[in-house]
Amino acid sequence: MTRYLLRRFASTVVLLLVMVALIYVIFYALPSNPAVLVCGKGCGGGQLAAIDHKLGLDQPEYLQFWHFLEGIFVGRDYSSGPDVSHCAAPCLGFSFQNDQPVLSLIGQRLPVSLSLTTGAMVVWLLVGVSAGVLSALRAGRLTDRVVTAASVLAYGAPIFVSGMLLLMLFCGYLHWLDFPVYVPLTENPAAWAKNLLLPWFTLAIAQAAVYTRLTRTGMLETLSEDHIRTFRAYGVRERRIVGRHAMRGTLTPIITLSAYDFGYILVGAMLTETLFGLPGLGQLIVQSSNNVDLPVVAGLTLVAGAAIVVANTAADLLYAVVDRRVVLS
């Protein structure tokens, strides 16, 4: 186990370093003139030279990469004479368009994305697991077939299409909800939840379908196992068998698997935030990409990539701990 942990940890670190290098190459080494991209449209020659100097672009490549790494671990200063911009560790870059370190931009947007994703996760686990259990207990009957058809439909629909359809139904046709506007949780919890209802369901729908399938299959498998038959033979009531014993066998691996969904959540949040105009991280990366604010895109890509790599490692470990049948190799 210790050897496995060490090896897994080492490969995660290598993966992260490769990613940092890749992001550096894409954003700072590949573009022919990063200063133009950093500065945005309409920058003159003098300004460009100043930015080159300020960013350290007049130094050799390997030194630049070293400063990039240094920034992540101990922070760095961008200076051109009197004009010094300090970027504290972990420095993910400096957005000259916003005149702010990328990290503080991320900090401002994070609560929105967290509100969206945690709520959506609750929705899809609740909806997915209960629909899956229902479908398994009624296997082959009408309820099962309706749930299955609905899950195929929900699984196939791209997020921005299902979100748009929800928007048209609840906001355009039924007038139950207004077009979502982000209200911070600390300001008004009720308005926060009401405004996020549509985004939560939009992000959750496809994922709920996946969990419906997983729960249904898992439940049917567990119910056909020997220990369940023994419970039945002893006269344990069906409700108790399903609710306690079968649920445990079904849910443990499924909940553990949800750590792998991290990548999906990030991409889904990006699309959902763009659709509803929520000022989160996803909207930030899309806007920065359209404004060619490269340090922001690079910083966000780095954070997202690192988060996914770490989440996947955590999921692997968690899964191995929960299900001892998984061979550690």
- Residues shown for the chain: 329
Q: How many CB atoms lie within 10 A of CB 18?
A: 12
CB of residue 257 to another protein, shortest distance in Å: 15
Nearer to another protein, 246 or 297 (CB): 297
User: What is the spatial distance between Cα 51 and Cα 44, in angstroms, rounded to a whole number?
Assistant: 11
3-state secondary structure 40-72: CCCCCHHHHHHHHHHHCCCCCHHHHHHHHHHHH
CB of residue 158 to another protein, shortest distance in Å: 5
CB of residue 149 to another protein, shortest distance in Å: 8
Nearer to another protein, 11 or 188 (CB): 11
Nearer to another protein, 15 or 121 (CB): 15
Nearer to another protein, 185 or 314 (CB): 314
Nearest to 207 by CA among 310, 305, 141, 123: 123
DSSP codes, 283-321? HHHHHHHHTT-HHHHHHHHHHHHHHHHHHHHHHHHHHHH
Nearer to another protein, 242 or 285 (CB): 285
Two structure tokens written together for 38? 């950093």
Q: How many CB atoms lie within 10 A of CB 227?
A: 12
Nearest to 283 by CA among 298, 294, 295, 297: 297
CB of residue 288 to another protein, shortest distance in Å: 8
CB of residue 45 to another protein, shortest distance in Å: 20
Q: Can you give the binding site for another protein, defined by CB under 8 A? A: 11, 14-15, 18-19, 23, 26-27, 30-31, 37, 135, 139-140, 144, 148, 152-153, 155-161, 164-165, 167-168, 171-172, 213, 216-217, 220, 263, 266-267, 270-271, 274-275, 285-286, 288-290, 292, 294, 297-298, 300-301, 304-305, 308-309, 312
Nearer to another protein, 185 or 219 (CB): 219
Q: DSSP 3-state assignment of 81?
A: coil
CB of residue 77 to another protein, shortest distance in Å: 26
